[in-house]
Structure 1
């Protein structure tokens, strides 16, 4: 049986940097307030006149393919994880396929929010182990900025999210390395603790047509921050230990933990719980905010650039988010 190995990493973030100080001119907040609660100093927002999720994904893919020494035509299947597609439908997989000039290859969209990239990686792993494909593009990308309520009413979420895309090339290999295992979980009882209600389909017709809606709050992100934090710190720890146990490793064997960049306080709590030194945990939330499905592949791409991911390292990925969903992956690089 073939193993699934990540051979190329790439990322793209919009040019526009939005600092906490800039947000403090638009709502009742401050750099100190945001940093204390989230660890975020700045984030990237798209330019709606030129940026789309699809064209940003194509730029991230170009970087990943170059690093893998491959061409667009080598891609056999696309998996695109996002909850902020360019269109309500079709999904962004086919839009990226078009951007890359590819025809007829399959494209699958994953809507598991912050856990979406690991869910997508798990799907790629299974396709490769089954012999269905040899080269799969797995992308995580989001455009959050255009949906944020940048007012006092929305500040609890508006200061958190940012835009960006990360891409990975996953290939079949005979080597004894690659994705060792993935672990996926969900608990729909808490779906409404972090969600965007609209445009949902289970509505009377008049409520699905925005021109007839006076109250548009259903289109904004709703998050019960306390509930998310309480569950996240438990599930992160559980799912990392699950991955380690499944492969007969201990926490001391981790060379680099790349957690979903939800909140620096969560990452620091997790680091303390696992007793990992600073050089074994990668965080970039201070620069980009929470980019949901994009956060792990962006962080991996940057960590690789900084030579913090090396051959034969044991890399652990972990995520928790809307759904609630949570997931982990253990990789022998």
Structure 2
């Protein structure tokens, strides 16, 4: 399997950064989480004068075989239809990326459709949809490894052709909340029932059916119990590709803004492969999917926003960007008490 060499963030500068933040012209701690963000980003970038450059949002799309079990209200064709919609510029993530200065990168990881060439969609397709994990592994070990590699390749291309140092990830794929619920349960130990929500809009009966399908799928697992096996058995191509991209981004020293429920399950899985990836992650948004709050708590993190979004696509991460930008402006634009004639008043 592909491996990554992610170094834990060097904390040698920590006290110098804290001293600079504490001596800005404000009461100590008065800018709250902006101060926490500035500290984290300074440590990642190993500087007291951090900067954000060329933000990108990479959206991976793929279909899931488990949708055949009726676990989603979204028909499979919505995946390729929306991917085409994204390429034309009229979807939710498009206006958010435009508003906040993000470059949107679209990747076909495993859509069950032949996407026409010339639409600006990167072809990394592994297969037309994963298999139905109710009956067999969603992907083979070779496909799992290929997804990691192709996700890393996307990051390598962005890194080689732009000066991007902050990245967010989104997804599109009917059925991927089911896969995410399975990863959440397997990697946190939270009871499966608490990991399952409405997805794209299931009613109570639909949620109960979804639980029954996922519970039976769990009983049918025949893997070796490793993290890689569990990810491959229940995951999606777009999800494993996002994991590969996240791990490569951390390896390259980039800031990762984590989106909602599905991308949080991806960074959770990534952390089981390389725990240090969390040093590079900022959690943008707590979504409306019922298990998301529990997953964030299991990770010991707190999202910047809670807007009840459940769109996916990277929308919550992109919405959080201005707050991250404010943290950078705080530490780079504010004066210190030593620079101006203001008495230190705390």
| Bigger helix share | 2
TM-score exceeds 0.5: no
TM-score, normalising length from structure 1? Answer: 0.34
The structure with the larger Rg is 2
More strand by share: 1
